[in-house]
Copies of this chain bind each other. A is one copy, B any other.
Amino acid sequence: MNAPIRVAIVGYGNLGRGVELALRQNSDMTLAAFFTRREPSSLKTLSPAIPVYSIHDILQHKEELDVLILCGGSATDLPKQSPHLAEHFTIVDSFDNHSRIPSHFDACDAAARQGGHIALLSVGWDPGLFSLLRLLGNCVLPCGQDYTFWGKGVSQGHSDAIRRVEGVLDGKQYTVPVPEALERVRSGENPVLTTREKHTRECYVVAAPDADKAKIEREIQTMPAYFADYDTTVHFITKEELDRDHRGIPHGGFVLRSGTTGEQQETKQMMEFSLKLGSNPEFTASVLVSCARAAVRLSREGQTGAKTILDIPPAYLSPQSGEELRRTLL
């Protein structure tokens, strides 16, 4: 039995807490430290025995750690942290700004090669597992069409946008796939779907007592980029209802590949992958933890540079040996 993989969590929000909990489900890994930008003594984790250090001191702990799981945000944290830390550590992040993945990858690749480490990037479910399933669909059914639907789930960005509307005290937004669109895809019809046809948006809003609700509704429904291209429903509820019924952070979605085979492309073939997640950050954290195991293995093999989930032999995600996997799972 090898010594457990020593993991540090960098950044302690919902995702960091999810990683903390996911590590408890993986006996070949151990939580070695937290790193935070806050005053370390102010951080209340679920693991009081595990030390909390300032992010500024992280280079002093190189010898005690096998891998860092970076749990910061993609907007401002990871674009700086990932390349910086990849020079000194094996890292895993969940960078999810799709359009900026290529430049993030290149920056981390250079740093990781420089330092002789592995940087496993953009891990989670989209990008992540959904990317892997899109890849499988494209490879197995080259003549076909990809479809990705998200939800039903909470969009943090859209919830934030609602809360910025005047007269709104609090609010939450759910992205919902349109069942009819999903059924048309499943039928093998290969429809061309507009943004409006694929998803609806449902908003639960707590308005200030004196607020103009009609105005709030109009302002949300016409908000460019966020809501204007969708059929958006606004429900006004009380703060108590919001806290009682909309506390969770569920999410999920569907990746479909609708393809054809045969001499005249006469045979319909359908692949579908879906997730129904009680907690988006806890699930993303679980993906990150299995990928941290893979990153350490690649690193111990002497590989270096940036990788994504598309580059990882799937068996590396597992604590079981190849022999066990062939006997039990294949």
Contact = CB atoms under 8 A, between A and B. Distances in A.
Contact of A21 (B127, B262, B310): B262
Contacts of A285: 261
A7 to B, nearest CB: 15
A136 B262 contact: no
A285 B262 CA distance: 11
Contact of A263 (B21, B122, B133, B314): B21
Which of A25, A139, A270 gathers the greatest number of chain B CB atoms within 10 Å? A139
A193 interface: no
Given A21-B261, A135-B315, A326 B105 contact: yes
B262 A270 contact: no
Interface stretch (A74-82, A86-94, A271-279): A271-279
Given A263-B46, A310-B315, A315-B311, A138 B271 contact: no
Given A132-B314, A136-B314, A273-B273, A308 B279 contact: no
A329 B140 CA distance: 14
Which of A98, A138, A269, A330 gathers the greatest number of chain B CB atoms within 10 Å? A330
Interface stretch (A166-174, A207-215, A316-324): A316-324
A26 interface: yes
Contacts of A26: 142
B21 A143 contact: no
A143 B270 CA distance: 29
A18 interface: yes
Nearest to A283: B269
A261 B22 contact: yes
A102 B286 contact: no
A181 interface: no
Contacts of A312: 313-314
Contacts of A322: 310-311
A107 interface: no
A325 B310 contact: yes
Interface of A: 18, 21-22, 25-26, 46, 98, 101-102, 105, 122, 127, 129, 131-136, 138-143, 186, 252, 261-263, 267-279, 282-283, 285-287, 290, 308-315, 317-318, 322-323, 325-327, 329-330
